[in-house]
A and B are shown apart, each in its own frame.
Chain A
Amino acid sequence: MKDKLFIGLSALAMLVILAMLALILGNIFWFGKDRLSWEFISASPRVGMTEGGIFPAIFGTVALVFLMTIAVMPAGVMTAIYLEEYARADSKMVHIVQQAVANLAGVPSIVFGLFGLGFFVNFVGRGVDGLFFGGELNYGQPAILWASATLALLTLPVVIVTTSEALRAVPREIKEGGLALGATRLQNLWRIIIPSALPGILTGGILAVSRGAGEVAPIMFTGAAYFLPYLPTSPNDQFMELGYHVYVMATQSPDVEATKPILYSTVLVLLALTFLLNLLAIYLRARLRKRFAEGR
């Protein structure tokens, strides 16, 4: 009797969590779907953001995440390769790097925002201006380049952890097979290990993009803008971003009721973007696991 009660209670907790998840997703889908249209995706905001679309925010988000990916993928994948394939597993360096990665993953996103401002904008940006532009203000101000660099550092642990996992999942026989046939370390890595781990590496990239696209706090002071009449074309331009746009519309709008429908649809677009990427990552991961499990 007592057994049934407690097991039922734990099942209930699970149900409550699932219900909350369904509720949030359902609520946003339900109130967001009516306003979705081609115009909404492809037009600029009008009439104090109560009319028109969110194209500049979508464009800004994609550009931001694209630049971030260019920075974070090589750095993250190479770190994982070092940890899993080159370094000795019990070496001090491995331990320190792993500790750093774990700590980096726990740093609050607002702290990354401060860092982006203090390091990229104020230190690197001004340094570049002083060296190459004679002190004229070009890079020493918030810009898409600095925002994406900040996000790259924030998502670095995601890429490292996922890639490490993928490299570890490649069976030892496969790795040693290549070496036994006379391949050099690099050949073995490039021709055998990386191709085998590719879906897992890709998963890391997808998770990083999903995470990066959803973060607002790190980009608030490093490049995101309330409203811009133009799209960013140079790395030192500011940009509009979906999550930041949601925040601005939800908290700074002069007429919240009038913005509400458009706000809901913006949230739906943002959620669809991050959420679908997450689903894709889960699917890829499951497939990868299956593939190597079957080979055994």
Chain B
Amino acid sequence: MDRRKLIERGVELLVYLSSWISILGIVFLFIFIGREAFPLLTDPRMQEEVRLSQLWTSIWQPVSDLPKFGLIPLFIGTLKASFVAMLFATPLAILAAVFTSEFAPPRLGRALKPVVELLAGIPSVVLGFFALVVLATWVQQLFGFTMRLNATVAGAALGLAVLPIIYTVTEDALATVPKAFREASLSLGATPWQTAFKVVLPAALPGIFAALVLGFGRAVGETMIVLMASGNASIVSASLGDSIRTLSATIAAELAEVVFGDGHYRLLFGLGVILFGFTFVLNLVGSWYIQRVKRRLLGAV
């Protein structure tokens, strides 16, 4: 009798403790990436190698006799790729989500959603490969850029990766809009299109905003696609036809070759901290807006 009670209590404790793994995971992520980057701020020897004032300059040349660690080209590259990705994915994803939830017959809509989400199941290295081998050739034929791998190619492939996220979150938001909204609008004589775009879409707006924020976060952090399809040249320019080098791809390409523990190594972890911090904030904002749309629409009924 006592033994059984003990097991009951033991299991309860066990499941409680395992729920701490996720919390510790997030905390440890910050601590242990920060730990590798921290000497940049505190160790004078490190600061001789990587001068902090130099970070805000426009040449990234970590491997040379006089290494230069300017982060501006990396930020510009990251923003360019994400910008193209969002430009490409946003209209498609939102329109398709509206179609799925508002216009398609319910059975078709239910069937379409998992099919679009299959896109999310394609590994990013496969998308990167496709961009490198197929898409790059098409883009070059279409636009005639001199550099075969550039911001447009990487951004378009990145768009394929963020599209399912924007689609799913938008569709979920549209689905939380109560049926009564649509019925009221239709009964007042609005057409289905007017109902979808002037009633349902505005009601779900925070959710759509969340979709864009989460999609952007994914685009900024995605690595393999940009590593393979962006050309990886750190160029400061506004042209979408130039090669780019992103934060994530820089970490991936250089970490394997740095000397363990030197300034360059620490700086790459520093880039990781920046990337993590940035996506972390975006995710918080995104989930806050998702909560808001739920509270606003489901709380109102």
List the interface of chain A (C-beta within 8 A of B): 2-3, 6-7, 9-14, 16-18, 20-21, 24, 27-28, 74-75, 78-79, 81-83, 85-87, 93, 96-97, 99-104, 106-115, 117-119, 122-123, 153, 156-157, 160, 184-186, 189, 210, 213-217, 220-221, 243-244, 246-247, 250-251, 260, 263, 267, 270-271, 274-275, 278-279, 282, 286
Tell me if B124 and A214 are in contact (CB < 8 A).
Answer: yes
A5: nearest residue on chain B (CB-CB)?
B193
Tell me if A118 and B33 are in contact (CB < 8 A).
Answer: yes
Tell me if B8 and A185 are in contact (CB < 8 A).
Answer: yes
Closest 5 CB pairs of A and B: A108-B221, A214-B123, A13-B95, A106-B283, A278-B121
Tell me if B23 and A250 are in contact (CB < 8 A).
Answer: no
Q: Please pick, from B96, B196, B197, the residue contacting A13 in the complex, using a CB distance under 8 A.
A: B96
Tell me if B223 and A217 are in contact (CB < 8 A).
Answer: yes
Tell me if B123 and A102 are in contact (CB < 8 A).
Answer: no
* Given A119-B28, A247-B125, A274-B123, residue A78 in contact with residue B15 (CB < 8 A): yes
- Please give the distance in Å from A106's CB to the nearest CB on chain B: 4
Tell me if A104 and B7 are in contact (CB < 8 A).
Answer: no
Q: Please pick, from A6, A18, A217, the residue contacting B115 in the complex, using a CB distance under 8 A.
A: A18
How many inter-chain residue pairs (CB < 8 Å) link A and B?
257
- Please give the distance in Å from A203's CB to the nearest CB on chain B: 12
Tell me if B132 and A110 are in contact (CB < 8 A).
Answer: no
- Please give the distance in Å from B90's CB to the nearest CB on chain A: 11
Tell me if B251 and A247 are in contact (CB < 8 A).
Answer: no
Cα distance A14–B192 in the bound complex, in angstroms:
18
Q: Please pick, from A104, A112, A210, A267, the residue contacting B22 in the complex, using a CB distance under 8 A.
A: A104
Give every chain A residue within 8 A of B130 (Cβ-Cβ).
Answer: 24, 27-28
B224: nearest residue on chain A (CB-CB)?
A216
Tell me if A274 and B248 are in contact (CB < 8 A).
Answer: no
Tell me if B287 and A102 are in contact (CB < 8 A).
Answer: yes
Cα distance A103–B191 in the bound complex, in angstroms:
40
* Given A106-B217, A110-B223, residue A274 in contact with residue B121 (CB < 8 A): yes
B297 interface residue, CB < 8 Å from A?
A: no
Give every chain A residue within 8 A of B282 (Cβ-Cβ).
Answer: 106
Tell me if A220 and B256 are in contact (CB < 8 A).
Answer: yes
Give every chain A residue within 8 A of B116 (Cβ-Cβ).
Answer: 14, 17-18, 21
Give every chain B residue within 8 A of A82 (Cβ-Cβ).
Answer: 15-16, 18-19
A20: nearest residue on chain B (CB-CB)?
B160
* Given A110-B248, A251-B228, residue A7 in contact with residue B103 (CB < 8 A): yes
For window 121-147 of chain B, which residues contact chain A by CB distance below 8 Å? Answer: 121-130, 132-134
Tell me if B163 and A111 are in contact (CB < 8 A).
Answer: no
List the interface of chain B (C-beta within 8 A of A): 4, 7-8, 11-12, 14-16, 18-19, 21-23, 25-26, 28-29, 32-33, 35-36, 91-93, 95-96, 98-100, 102-104, 112, 114-116, 118-119, 121-130, 132-134, 160, 163, 167, 191-194, 196-197, 214, 217-218, 220-224, 227-228, 248, 251-252, 255-256, 268-269, 272, 275-276, 279-280, 282-284, 286-287
Cα distance A174–B14 in the bound complex, in angstroms:
24
Cα distance A41–B28 in the bound complex, in angstroms:
39
Tell me if A270 and B100 are in contact (CB < 8 A).
Answer: no
A281: nearest residue on chain B (CB-CB)?
B121
* Given A3-B193, A114-B272, A118-B36, residue A102 in contact with residue B248 (CB < 8 A): no
Give every chain B residue within 8 A of A10 (Cβ-Cβ).
Answer: 95-96, 98-99, 102-103
Tell me if B19 and A79 are in contact (CB < 8 A).
Answer: yes
List 27 A-B residue pairs with CB atoms under 8 Å apart, sorted by A's residue number. Answer: A10-B95, A10-B99, A10-B102, A11-B104, A13-B93, A14-B104, A14-B116, A18-B116, A20-B119, A21-B115, A21-B116, A21-B119, A24-B130, A28-B130, A82-B19, A102-B287, A106-B218, A112-B29, A113-B251, A123-B35, A157-B22, A214-B124, A215-B123, A216-B125, A243-B126, A274-B121, A275-B122
- Please give the distance in Å from A96's CB to the nearest CB on chain B: 6
Tell me if B287 and A109 are in contact (CB < 8 A).
Answer: no
Tell me if B22 and A111 are in contact (CB < 8 A).
Answer: no
Cα distance A279–B256 in the bound complex, in angstroms:
35
